């Protein structure tokens, strides 16, 4: 084969409606999200949300519990209930596991997208898997049969550019137009974008001494540690 006729080949896989490409040998398999493939859950896509920041910032934003009442008041958080409940992070290889039951805002008339009933102060049970480096699986429940799964992957484009892809599955509101949830995500990601794009440096500092971490930053601390341990921190990047 003449050298000029050769082109590089890359490992490629289509899953959850997204095309995944490994520019080098893939280190880990893609996350398993059976809810998005079993055919009985309603699924939709939102984004991509193209932000002027590193993918690590977009990922940490998705996992941050403290900001909900302040950045998304009335939509994802209740400013009258700002305390972040206790939570622990278990790191297994390249996957961080953590769960939290936290106060959330009531469903609004504009965006009736979640499965919580309105009987008391609503609470949301959230189980997270953060797959290094930039993928998150979030399962939401409200104590009953209703379930929702968020699949989020941030695509790194450059040191200060990324694109966030969202796939959402739910086993309720099956007849609801996708537009309701997609408009909701556009609103939420728009609120986050303003804050995250103002953060400096554009990539999260993986040195834990570089920023002040408090108890409710447990996920960010575990994320930064795991990224370093797996050779994915900024200082290890080419
Ligand atoms: Fe947010």
Contact 226, 132 (CB under 8 A): yes
For residue 160, the CA-to-ligand 1 centroid distance in Å is 19
Distance 7 CA to ligand 1 centre (A): 41
Burial label for 204, CB within 10 Å (0-12, 13-18, 19+), is: buried
**CA–centroid distance, residue 188 to ligand 1 (Å):** 6
Please tell me the distance between residue 114's alpha carbon and the centre of ligand 1 in angstroms: 16
Kindly give the distance from the C-alpha atom of residue 66 to the centroid of ligand 1, in angstroms, as a whole number: 9
- Ligand 1 centroid to Cα of residue 50, in Å, is 15
Assessment of whether the complete model's pTM goes beyond 0.85: yes
3-state SS class at 224:
helix
Phi and psi (nearest 5°) for 3?
Answer: -55, -35
CA of 5 to the centre of ligand 1 (A): 47
**1 alpha carbon to ligand 1 midpoint, in Å?**
51
The answer to whether the beta carbons of residues 58 and 45 sit under 8 Å apart is no
Report the pLDDT value the prediction gives residue 101, as an integer from 0 to 100.
86
d(CA 1, CA 155): 34
Q: What is the pLDDT of residue 238?
A: 42
Q: Average pLDDT of each block of 10 consecutive residues along the chain (238 residues)?
A: 92 94 93 94 97 97 93 91 91 96 72 68 85 97 91 96 97 95 97 96 89 92 96 65
Residue 51 Cα to ligand 1 middle (Å): 13
Centroid of ligand 1 to alpha carbon of 3 (angstroms): 49
In angstroms, the Cα distances linking 148 to 62, 94, 122 are 16, 24, 16
Give the distance (Å) from ligand 1 centre to CA of residue 106: 16
């Amino acid at each position: 084969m003449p050298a000029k006729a050769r082109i590089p080949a890359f490992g490629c896989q289509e899953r959850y409606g997204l095309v995944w490409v490994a520019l080098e040998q893939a280190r880990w398999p893609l996350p398993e999200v059976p809810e998005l493939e079993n055919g009985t859950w309603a699924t939709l896509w939102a984004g991509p949300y193209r932000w002027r920041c590193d993918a690590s910032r977009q990922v940490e934003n998705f996992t941050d519990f403290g900001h909900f009442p302040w950045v998304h008041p009335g939509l994802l958080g209740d400013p009258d209930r700002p305390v972040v409940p206790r939570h622990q992070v278990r790191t297994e290889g390249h996957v961080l596991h953590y769960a939290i039951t936290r106060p959330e805002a009531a469903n609004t008339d504009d965006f009736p997208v979640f499965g919580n009933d309105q009987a008391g102060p609503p609470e949301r049970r959230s189980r997270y898997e953060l797959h290094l480096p930039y993928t998150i699986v979030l399962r939401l429940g409200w104590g009953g049969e209703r379930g929702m799964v968020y699949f989020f992957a941030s695509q790194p484009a450059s040191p200060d550019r990324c694109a966030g892809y969202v796939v959402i599955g739910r086993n309720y509101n099956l007849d609801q137009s996708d537009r309701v949830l997609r408009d909701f995500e556009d609103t939420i990601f728009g609120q986050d974008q303003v804050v995250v794009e103002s953060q400096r440096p554009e990539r999260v500092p993986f040195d834990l001494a570089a920023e002040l971490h408090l108890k409710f930053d447990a996920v960010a601390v575990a994320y930064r540690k795991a990224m370093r341990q797996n050779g994915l921190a900024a200082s290890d990047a080419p």
